[in-house]
């Protein structure tokens, strides 16, 4: 592999290893639903498992789970191809590194949903559950009476429980959106020749 591929793919590999190490530790040392607070009630490890996409979103049933896993595999292949394309065509380094984050996050969650069920003995291949653990309910409160629809209901920010892979995907997507003008800037290069002739009518 050429040196130009080393940094993005090494970064992706490192994120995948960290993601899997955290998930394996949580699965091995915590029971489902257990909490370990490290920022009091505002930040904790909360062991959960979900059948779906990032932050616990999911499609119902075994067919939905299978479809989602196969979609993820196809997405990873596409993202991987896109990453190689960006490197080969010398796109902005920031874009390449953020695509590497997205690729790593997608691979990390695919590992869970593809083989965790088989490894831990609770489901066949492609039917595993994604391990989530980071929970930051920073703000809790109640919507005031003048707020439409949600008046009087409890709210919480940040509600989703996520993992390292989810974080990598989110950071990659957000950075691409924030810096898209820089990443996709096309510079017009005017080539002039001192020997060109200007014809005047």
129 and 49 in contact (C-beta within 8 Å)? Answer: yes
Q: Is 132 a catalytic residue?
A: yes
Question: Which of the following is catalytic: 19, 112, 154, 166?
Answer: 166
Q: What letter would DSSP give residue 123?
A: S
The residues that bridge with 140 in the sheet, in sequence order, are 156
Of the listed 19, 112, 132, 154, which one is catalytic? 132
* Cα-only R_g, the chain: 23
CA-to-CA dists, residue 194 to 38, 100, 197, angstroms: 68, 44, 8
Residues 6+ apart with CB under 8 A from 109: 53, 54, 72, 130, 163, 165, 166
The reply to whether 19 belongs to the active site is no
For helices 3-29 and 93-111, the axis angle rounded to 10 degrees is 30
Active site residues: 132, 166
């Amino acid at each position: 592999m050429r040196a130009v591929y080393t940094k993005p793919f090494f970064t992706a590999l490192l994120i995948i290893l960290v993601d899997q190490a955290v998930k394996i530790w949580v699965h091995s040392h915590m029971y489902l639903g257990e909490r370990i607070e490290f920022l009091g009630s505002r930040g904790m490890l909360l062991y959960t498992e979900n059948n779906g996409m990032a932050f616990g979103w999911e499609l119902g049933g075994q067919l939905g789970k299978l479809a989602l896993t196969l979609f993820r595999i196809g997405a990873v292949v596409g993202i991987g191809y896109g990453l190689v394309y960006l490197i080969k065509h010398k796109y902005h380094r920031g874009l390449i590194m953020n695509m590497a984050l997205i690729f790593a996050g997608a691979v990390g969650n695919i590992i869970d949903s593809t083989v965790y069920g088989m490894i831990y003995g609770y489901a066949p291949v492609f039917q595993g559950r994604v391990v989530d653990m980071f929970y930051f309910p920073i703000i809790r409160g109640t919507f005031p009476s003048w707020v439409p629809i949600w008046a009087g209901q409890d709210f919480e920010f940040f509600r989703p429980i996520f993992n390292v892979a989810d974080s990598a995907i989110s950071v990659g997507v957000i950075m691409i959106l924030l810096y898209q003008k820089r990443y996709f800037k096309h510079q017009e290069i005017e080539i002039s020749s001192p020997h060109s002739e200007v014809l005047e009518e």
